[in-house]
Chains A and B, each alone.
Chain A
Amino acid sequence: MRAAHPMLTFAVRRLVAMVLVLFAISVLTFLIFQVIPDGDPALRLAGKFATPQEIKDVRIQWGFNQPIWVQYLRMMEQIFTGKVISYTQQVNVVRQIGEDLPATISLTVGASVLWLIAGVALGVVGALLARRGRVARAADRLLGAVAMTGISMPAFLLGDLLLFYLGFKLHVFPLGGYVPLTEDPVGWLTHMILPWISVTVLFAGFYSRVLRASILDTMGESYVATARAKGISPRRVMVSHVLRNSLLPIVSLWGLDFAAVLGGGALLTETVFNLKGVGQYAAESTQRLDIPPIMVITMLTAFLVVVLSTVTDLVQAALDPRVRLR
């Protein structure tokens, strides 16, 4: 019997894994919020001045009196039919996320391109400098210190400082908020630049360190020595032998980071710059103990992470024949 196509097996395995992860995450999220004693959603839905009878009515109307697993199934059904309503603001969560997505997409796409370029440039320069003379090594150290500061930077501190000095003091950029691209392209750009810079600083340092280490590792590989011994020019060895292989970890890292930021992972940056994106919605919903939006957003993030990691695995396999799809 002929074995199934490896690509097909890979795709099916990933699909099954994704469903399991989404299921587990949704159960975990539901349970975390189920254990709050003071978190009875009926109390919040009924409002501050509700009578016990009104609270009871709300409890029955929303099904909070039913067993946990029934409530869980009901919520999952509502999520997948797009009818899920948040407890505190009582708006359609899926529609709300749809409204928040443009800001988050703007943040993710712009910032991910910037941090990739900056990270790769810093990493390559650092690796090249590290193998030269004294002065060059000192410059590499300096780049390393810059990268380390970026890695260690708390997102909200950086955002606050950018807003204060470039917004309040110099009036170069607006003080946070989001303007849709379709309404006002220039306003969109000026509102996005600071958040982009902020996220880029946070990520580029880490990328440059990973890439620098990866390049230096690859330079020690025997196939690089072989290529050099064959008389291939150092520049070509660097580009088509060293860099091509060193970029592999960066590719998968980038895919995952992209997915996480797109899924609302930049809670702090979005909150500081008041972008009103998915991440800020997630942060606000957790503070309100509002389960439905958190369920949807965590599942969205997990979904994106699994999809993007599958894509990066495929890219890796295409770039490096040693990588086999499992």
Chain B
Amino acid sequence: MKPLFRTSRSLTRPEESGEFSASPRTLSGDAWRQFRKHKLAMGSMGVLLLVVLLVLAGPLVWHTDPEYIDIIAAYSGMTAEHPFGTDNLGRDTLARTIWGGRVSLAIGLTAMVIAMSVGTVVGCVAGYFRRLDGLLMRITDMFLSLPTLPLLLVITLLFREPLRKAFGPEVGIFVLIVVVIGMLGWMPTARLVRGEVLTIKEREFVSAALSIGSDDRVILRSHILPNVLSPVIVAASFSMAGAIITESALSFLGLGFPPDFPTWGRLLFDGKDYLTLTPALVFWPGLMISLTVLCINFIGDGLRDALDPQLRK
């Protein structure tokens, strides 16, 4: 009997070549194929990789110490010696931008992981266990009506000292900022995941798993979680972009890392008073923030299109 549908070329090609060499189509393979069609997202991926490469491998090529003070070369414009210019103490902006990028990207990544983990766990539990749903969603609503930026400012102000004592000046602030940004950013993900879980848990494969006696943990981990992963991945990219902006904003207000510890936002904060003398001080770190966030957002757009099976052609 002939199959009803025989439209895919992949079915015929292996037969013609005589062997089944073509690898089976997978969900991630499909998504990747779709993602590649999104030109902006692909371009952004390239640019983002360049930024990451610059930040990670930069110190191997550019040996200048970001903390080296050279008063004579202060306010230098863009020269061969200092491609991005220097600040009021003659510190090299390129080196500082590279090191600052490490911090900014690390914060974006860690805060995103925290927000996504909390959001996914809360969303899964709320969606799966009906008894906890009301309580968890009330908590989520509560968090959603907290004013993010003011609270962030207040918490970093108040808990800076104790954390500094506990972990040292840099690590302390890092932990503080990452945890606070993460804890104020998980709510949209929790809502999203809960909605997905609510529909998925009514599907047949979950009933099947239940009927063979799988316990809740197995069902959540191996049946539900993989199915909510794609919206979480999309949310993760936007969350990371947001975290990078939030950290920069915090540093820009002078309330982030200590002054001698460069992050992109901190560089902007330090450079803004010398705007007329050396605009390069502000321009390069600002450009790096903008490029990174822009690329991540475009990648997020691309991922959304690629991972949504309804949009897939």
Do the two shown chains form a genuine complex with each other? no
